[in-house]
Structure 1
């Protein structure tokens, strides 16, 4: 498409205006247009009236209009000031998960050379940021999805960090790691009950991997319980077990963790005022 930069942004924004509020539609449009141009958003809009010729604008607008997240359309997202490749094999990292990473970093400060395990790693964003911020750490990342691990390996290479990736099942005790111990075990596992699907936006339900999002309503804490039970033997004496949790299940998750032997369990409020993280230590 040949047009001014502002006209290209407006064209994309118009395509998604029915799906998003006006301000968000404009933000998505700018992100997409800048990515197509190969420029930063600030540079793209430095001269909004400059005429440019950018390929793929119409195709991009059609994908976004169908509900595809802008991160999947552009193939990238930002997390903790680092760039990650994302596609339909992995969830798109959320801003609130950055707070979980920060809390894990704070816990890791208690250990000289922390051994860190990220369970249900997906894109690898948690493990990769921890490896980048804690170069003295030995980081392992686990997921059951082979394709997700391929994406995570790509992201590790792109961000220049060394991580051991393991394909294993968090619900089956993670036998590949039998006999190993870790100072930090962190996880953002599936936790959304299937009953919430109808209330969620199409850009999530149609495009993001359901196996990384949803759990049976009959047992929404299934991943937390399984990981906590594995952590009984895998967590070091002074280690920390951290989770991102569903805001409606935060206290119930904490109570379950205490029953599983992690008496020192704290619930933390996220940037949006919601109880979305827990940190546990084994009862002594």
Structure 2
């Protein structure tokens, strides 16, 4: 990481005595001033502002300091131990939710739910949907339940490890499965992840490889008509596609595609049954991404 110039620190201190504390994370005066405004808006006095700026100097996540993160039109509560919602997730989840039909009782299951941001957004945009959210972390399920109650959005929150395939998460049929699983490899986490994330966000929700995508094919896909899984790299998209295309049964039943985010990075692998029972999935996913089979 490029070191901050002394002249930048001096200029920041002239503008506001708290700004230099924010530079290690913000990297620019412009970004630091924006963060300071947010901190001031959520603080009672200068002493609280100072304490929060000191936390940021130690790379503590802003969302944990302020206690929330905007997610489309929702204000999602955040707390340590639970992954902070990202703009990349907000981007595809918002698009997906608006594509789902109105006034239909579509059944949605969100796995690795974290704060509950994805299922809460879907339920908010499509109130007739029946939405369940699952996570193995009691901190996450507690926070997802809290978000549901505080936002007045009714979803069912279940604690259970989907990889264990026990009775906690029953394999009932659903229309759509969504998931933002742990997908950052150990080497990428060490070499490329920001200090703030490495120090304070839960590794349980971050570090993974192909296990959740294997679980999708081996266990989850049979109970759904469509799926949308977030990914961290192209190889994870290719893994799901290859497993479907090379399977003589799945290849006849499923179509699969990839979606890029606004930075042109692979962000989603999605699929739907060629012959749908409840919804017109080809229309729903039209131009959502690029189909590969």
TM-score, reference length from structure 1 = 0.83
Cα contact 1:85–1:151 (8 A) shared by 2: yes
| SS of equivalent to 2:26 | coil
Q: Equivalents in 2 of 1:241, 1:8: separation in Å?
A: 52
Q: Equivalents in 1 of 2:47, 2:57: separation in Å?
A: 18
Q: Equivalents in 1 of 2:75, 2:230: separation in Å?
A: 21
Superposed CA RMSD in Å reads: 2.4
Matched ranges for 1:1-284 at <5 A: 10-22=16-28, 23-37=30-44, 53-106=45-98, 108-109=100-101, 112-173=104-165, 175-198=167-190, 199-215=192-208, 220-235=209-224, 239-258=225-244, 259=246, 261=250, 263-282=254-273
Paired residue for 1:43? Answer: none
Cα contact 1:193–1:214 (8 A) shared by 2: yes
Cα contact 1:117–1:185 (8 A) shared by 2: yes
Q: Equivalents in 2 of 1:14, 1:118: separation in Å?
A: 40
Q: Equivalents in 2 of 1:134, 1:115: separation in Å?
A: 11
Compare 61-70 and 9-18 and name the one that shifted more. Answer: 9-18
Q: CA-to-partner distance for each residue in 1:148-203, whole Å, 9 max, x for gaps?
A: 11111111111101111111112123633435111010000000001112321111
Paired residue for 1:42? Answer: none
Say if 1:138 and 1:251 are closer, same or farther in 2 by CA, change over 3 A.
Answer: closer
Aligned length: 257
Cα contact 1:120–1:189 (8 A) shared by 2: yes
Q: Equivalents in 1 of 2:14, 2:273: separation in Å?
A: 55
Say if 1:55 and 1:18 are closer, same or farther in 2 by CA, change over 3 A.
Answer: closer
Paired residue for 2:291? Answer: none
Q: Which runs of 4+ in 1 moved over 4 A?
A: 6-9
Say if 1:280 and 1:34 are closer, same or farther in 2 by CA, change over 3 A.
Answer: same
The CA deviation at 1:283 is 5.5
Cα contact 2:107–2:175 (8 A) shared by 1: yes
Cα contact 1:240–1:279 (8 A) shared by 2: yes
Cα contact 2:13–2:20 (8 A) shared by 1: no
Paired residue for 1:44? Answer: none
Q: Equivalents in 1 of 2:255, 2:98: separation in Å?
A: 16
Q: CA-to-partner distance for each residue in 1:208-251, whole Å, 9 max, x for gaps?
A: 00000002xxxx1111111332223321xxx2100110134344
The CA deviation at 1:132 is 1.0
The CA deviation at 1:107 is 5.3
| SS of equivalent to 1:206 | helix
